[in-house]
Amino acid sequence: MSKIVFLQHLSEKQKQQIEAAAPHDEIVAIPVKEATEQDLADAEIIVGWSRKFQDFILSPDCAVKWVQAWSAGVDKMPLTELEQKQVLLTSANGVHTIPISEQIFAYMLAFSRNLHQAIRNQSRARWDESGRFGELHGKTIAIVGAGNIGIGTARLARAFGMKTVGVRRSGQPLDEFDTMYSMEQLDEALGVADVVVNILPLTEQTRGLFDQGRFAAMKPEALFINVGRGTTVRTDDLVAALQNGTIAGAGLDVFDPEPLPEDHPLWSMEQVMITPHIAGSNEHYTDRVLDIFLTNLKAYQQGEKLPVNLVDYSSGY
């Protein structure tokens, strides 16, 4: 019998799903704020992560063999130490495809139809018909990070009659994209786009990738959307690009630093839309993570390689 610890609240229905899949295991579901090291001491599988328990999980006193992260990104986890301890790590990559792709289009539609200004005017009780009113049809979207979210976004873009450009490490084509570029061709992709969407994970290769030069490679009328990681963007360079008119606007859900300080210049920019790192939030999140976990659990029980989102420590995701 193994012990599986979930560091979050689960509904009775969700607990029953897990118990049905692991009838001989001990299942513990306890919110991280209430959990103690004793709860984790003899856990073979931990679902979720908290820095509160990081040192303990990495210590010899913790018997964990597999961690299922609750987030899609694992860049904030101690990957080197987990690898040294020979802990299997799986991410929740894929759970965000629908909400984040829809959030990307919320930004795009708002900017296209000048809704971001209309909302500001409404709060001031101001009737103002001025502004630029465009349409997405016929525009080109460059999606930097053509994974699950990127593919989902490309499908929506095609439904709006947009041209789809993708950027991925391999540069290999995907059906959802009209054109695919490698990361070495990033500047070329940026130069043809009306909208640039950053969905990259944080790695040593992507840290600070969007800098002054990258914004200069974009069209002056282009919109930049970041739903990936804040630290893949040099924030000061983004601010300068917006102030100087190097790019036309930005829809931002992630930041460096985060939370964004109250006195940061991005808050007061009329051509910027800000959301507080909520693009992936939705009411189906837990169920979708459980779908990933239960698929992997079946393989784990049979001694097979975990089939969904097994992190490659050498690449960092």
Q: Which residues contact 56 (CB under 8 A, 6 or more apart)?
A: 37, 40, 62
> Residues 204-240, buried b or exposed e (16+ Cβ, 10 A)?
eebeebbeeebbbbbbeebbbbbbbbbbbbbbebbbe
List the beta strands (DSSP E) in 48-178: 66-68, 88-90, 140-144, 163-168
Task: Centre a 10 Å sphere on the Cβ of residue 298 and count the other Cβ atoms it contains.
Answer: 14
| Cα separations in angstroms, 100 against 41, 95, 151, 277 | 36, 9, 11, 10
Q: Which residues on adjacent β-strands are paired with residue 5?
A: 28, 46
- Among the listed residues 97, 89, 71, 75, the one whose alpha carbon sits nearest the alpha carbon of residue 206: 75
Strand pairing class (140-144; 249-252): unpaired
Q: Which residues contact 44 (CB under 8 A, 6 or more apart)?
A: 2, 3, 4, 63, 64, 65, 66
Catalytic residues: 229, 258, 277
Please provide residue 100's backbone torsions phi and psi, each rounded to the nearest 5 degrees.
-70, -40
